[in-house]
Amino acid sequence: MSDQHQELHSSISEMITGVESSVASSSSASSSSGPSNGFDDDITPFPSPVLSATSLAGLSLSSDGELEAEVDDDKIVTEEDRARALELKADANKAFAAKEFNRSIDLYTQAIALNPKDATFWNNRAMSKAKMEEHGGAISDATKAVEINPDYAKAYYRRGLAYLSILRPTDAVSDFKKALGLEPANKAIRDQLHMTVKLIRRIEFEKAISVGETETTSSKCLSLIASGACNLDESSQSADMPLPIVSEDPNARYKPTKEFVEGMVESFKKGGKVSKRVAWEIILGCKDVVEKEKSLVEVTIPEGVTCDVIGDTHGQFFDVVNLLSLTTRPSENHYMVFNGDLVDRGSWSVEVALTVFAYKWLYPEYVFINRGNHETNDMNKVYGFEGECKAKLGEMTFKLFADVFTSLPLATMVTASKSPVDSKSEGSQPAILSPEGKRRFFICHGGPPVSKDGVTLDEVAKIDRFGRQPGQEGIMCEMLWTDPQEPVGRGPSKRGVGLGFGPDVTRRWCELNKVTAVIRSHEVRADGYAIEHDGLCITVFSCPNYCDSTGNKAAYVRMQANGSLSYHQFDAVPHPDMKPMAYSSGFNFGGF
């Protein structure tokens, strides 16, 4: 890596994450101006809409969480091996087309074991891994593909997309240039290269103009409201859009009502728009509530009350409306915990965020919001929310959202008020109970802070989150980014950031802190939820047919006052003709 490239990478990393990351080494093949070998049966579409992560783990894992078996590069491949490998590849292609991405990974892996010298197998497996957000593994596989065939344009392109997915745009540019050198007439590659270079320049420009800023956007917006510079303009919102309680003083703050919030949601369903002043009041109203909460919010479920835990919603507004119809809206008898990743990818992230924030403003004691890894500046810049928010409500509104995202708590502890009916956990062992003998669930987006043993709930509650981005290490990063794994101990994350934590790590943490189970989100699950680590780790994901491409069910988890849990699945509903990440500034959605 040249000094200029290293300097640019450093400045971008600091701008995006707030913490400089080490650059993982990868083998690179020399570029060539010659024609591509084609590989007409390569199924890799360009590019993938499934994105995530901030740094490369450097190791590849199989779909079941085990380290993939080493491949014998010197294997003598027989004609029988080649034929059987091609059969497996055909089956893998069918599994991919059926959105059975874990199965396609396993089948490509079997094909690779038989014939490790076919670059297409490696690149197709990289694509399958990208669909499962395993971008570290995708980079590893695409690198292997270009080692085998240095003229494989699609492999360079796939690796470039994976680098961009983990927010390493300078590395992505290098691969896009290599791909374009191989296929100079390819518009998809050229457009992606242009967009990535433009993204780098914008990041550098925004970094330069932000130097010396001390006033928060929330303070600026409050000053503008108080000075009359952001009065209500009813002509800027839809005629059927109701209003909160508005004082006769145009500079006074608004108050929420149930009629306003539910009417706003109904208007959004019909494509309605909200004025900037009303949006600011919702966001600032939410901030007034969450900034009084600790980084670990503690909630007890009274008798006669249910509590639903909602996983990622990612801007899929029409699925959120369907979800609210299934759960019923929040109320004094029905609490809701939204476990992060309200925004990005789906193209109605503004509507989702305003809906959830408005309910928090209206019902501060019944609605709880945890921060996800997408309630962060770096992700919003690339994956759509920044562009969407600026298009719908202007740059200041996006900056206001970004400011308030840093005020969101990192976890919610939900405790039963009644003793459990039986001692059984969600797994095979007796339930771990609180010191008072009640079930309680630690809810956070990625997982508990487990890079080392001994981290307590008190340490989580005292995290200084305000104005901070998670960076690439530390407790906040772990709580937004970690993933469970099947093997014991700790390992690299398949997604390429944070770490994986095994069932033994989960049990030690739960026993130390007297936690019945961890409920987390952050990962697609085919059934919408998964009960792992012998019932101590529960994943819930609330985006059905994620990014309009994954074919998964979604789910929510319901808790009763005695701590018993139930799991409720739902499918995607139709939405207007708008593709995922329609407002993304980092990715070209052309074909290749």
Residues identified as active-site: 374
**DSSP code per residue over 53-86:** -SS-----B-TTSSBPPPP-TT----HHHHHHHH
| 250 neighbors 232 (Cβ within 8 angstroms) | yes
Using alpha carbons, list the distances in angstroms from residue 245 to 221, 235, 242, 272, 363.
Answer: 19, 18, 10, 19, 15
Taking the C-alpha atoms of residue 72 and residue 74, their distance in angstroms, rounded to an integer, is 5
Nearest to 392 by CA among 274, 487, 311, 477: 274
**Strand boundaries in 330-389, DSSP class E:** 334-338, 367-369
Closest residue by Cα to residue 305 from 261, 259, 326, 336: 336
Taking the mean position of all CA atoms in its chain, how far away is CA 584?
A: 14
Distance separating alpha carbons of residues 217 and 508, to the nearest angstrom: 41
* Counts of helices then strands in the chain (DSSP H, E): 19, 14
Q: Residues 56, 94, 88, 546: what is their CA dihedral angle, to the nearest 10 degrees?
A: 20
Per DSSP (E only), the strands in 117-257 are: none
Tokens describing residue 249:
């003083």
**The one-letter amino acid at 540:** V
Q: At what angle do helices 79-97 and 119-131 cross, to 10 degrees?
A: 20
* CB atoms closer than 10 angstroms to residue 194: 12
d(CA 530, CA 538): 6
Confirm if 432 and 510 have CB atoms less than 8 A apart: yes
Both tokens assigned to 22: 């080490």
What does the DSSP assignment read for 150-166? TT-HHHHHHHHHHHHHT
Q: How far apart are CA 17 and CA 251, in angstroms?
A: 36
Is residue 162 within 8 A of residue 142, CB to CB? The reply is yes
Burial of 208 (0-12, 13-18, 19+ CB in 10 A): exposed
Partners of 565 in beta bridges = 559
CA distance 496 to 511: 28
Please tell me what DSSP assigns to residue 396. Answer: H
Token output for 183: 């296929």
